Amino acid sequence: MSFANLKKNSRTAFENLTKELNKTQYESSDDNLWKPQLDKSGNGYAVIRFLPGLDGKNPYAQIWSHAFQGPGGWYIENSLTTLNQKDPVGELNRQLWNSGSDADKEIARKQKRKLSYYANIYVVSDPANPDNEGKVFLYKFGKKIWDKIVESMQPAFADETPINPFDFWEGADFKLKIRKVDGYWNYDKSEFASASAFLDGDDSKLEKVYNQINNLEELVSPNNFKTYEQLQERLNNVLGTKKVTSRRIDQETDEGEMEFVGNTTEFTPPSTSMSFTQLTSTESTQEEEEDDTLSYFARLAEED
């Protein structure tokens, strides 16, 4: 789709995106992955603009992943359920959940999958890293920010006007406001500004930005996922008895998540065949993912 067609069909794109949202509510180069930072007071602030998808495609990608530790090290891998395929961890979790054992169910909970979202963004303001301003990046985010996107498109109250946050002309800047709450990054105060034309609606500037947008379909290409057999082998190693050095866990980043850091002799990093690597893996707080967890394990029970 050309830039001219994007502008002409922006309203239709919003309608199609809304339909897609209803269908996929919970179904996911390193240098090009933007990440906000906190200041010395423990707060973070940035203004970003979510960008449209290329050629009329979805402006976001969803990737499921697993991150847990076993006797043989860490299992940090993208899940084949992203591609609607069977995944060895998902099959193991189904067996554990349906065993009738509370201990098995607890193991399944710790090994449950996590959903991350990716979108193209334009950094309007980044006080912590001013060099990022005016550039296009990929942005990885979780449920809290996703919920704010959904709310902007499907507001709960009659006096609120729906917007397409990914639209150049009728979208809105997103004000990212981060606080440290109980050691976790909290995004509750983040919000969309009023709807406005991006870059004052200047077609030449918008087209320049459009031509920098990353193809999100590459992120969910089967070529960027390990095979079932490779994942099964890794899972067997992790659940085995290989000795592993101690590994530190630091409290981190988005939406009440934890980041795993440090080195371990038996640790195998995620596949690096993608244009950027998943160098961090996170586990959200119970509050944020409780509904998703219950839904996930309900489906596991039904599949027995």
> Which residue is listed with tokens 């371990």?
264
Query: pLDDT-derived band of residue 267, with 50, 70 and 90 as boundaries?
Result: very low
pLDDT tens for residues 58-114? 999 999 999 999 999 999 999 999 999 999 999 999 999 999 999 999 999 999 999
The domains found in the chain, sorted by start residue, are 3-302 (3.90.198.10)
CA angle in degrees (0–180, nearest 5) for 43-191-67: 65
pLDDT, position 16: 66
Q: What is the pLDDT of residues 207-257, one digit of tens each?
A: 999 999 999 999 999 999 999 999 999 999 999 934 444 343 343 444 444
pLDDT tens-digit readout, 169-193: 999 999 999 999 988 999 999 999 9
Alpha carbon distance 72, 88 (integer Å): 17
- Give whole-number Cα distances, 45 to 35, 133, 176, 224, in Å: 11, 13, 5, 32
Q: Identify the band that residue 278 occupies on the pLDDT scale cut at 50, 70 and 90.
A: very low
Residue among 251, 264, 242, 226 at smallest CA distance from 65? 226
φ and ψ at 99, to 5 degrees? -75, -20
User: Could you report the per-residue pLDDT of 9-64, keeping only the tens digit for each?
Assistant: 776 766 666 655 544 333 334 568 999 999 988 999 999 999 999 988 999 999 99
**Could you read off the pLDDT of 107-142 as tens digits, one per residue?**
999 999 999 999 999 999 999 999 999 999 999 999
Check if the beta carbon of residue 68 is closer than 8 Å to that of residue 111: yes
Categorise residue 182: left if φ over 0, alpha if ψ from -120 to 50, beta otherwise: left
Single pTM value for the model: 0.73
Distance CA 17, CA 149 (A): 12
User: Which pLDDT band, with edges at 50, 70 and 90, does 290 fall under?
Assistant: very low
Name the more confident of 303 and 158. 158
227 DSSP assignment: -
Closest CA to 14 of 141, 171, 122: 171
Q: Could you tell me if 268 and 276 are in contact, meaning their C-beta atoms sit under 8 angstroms apart?
A: no
Q: What is the rounded CA–CA span in Å between residue 140 and residue 78? A: 14
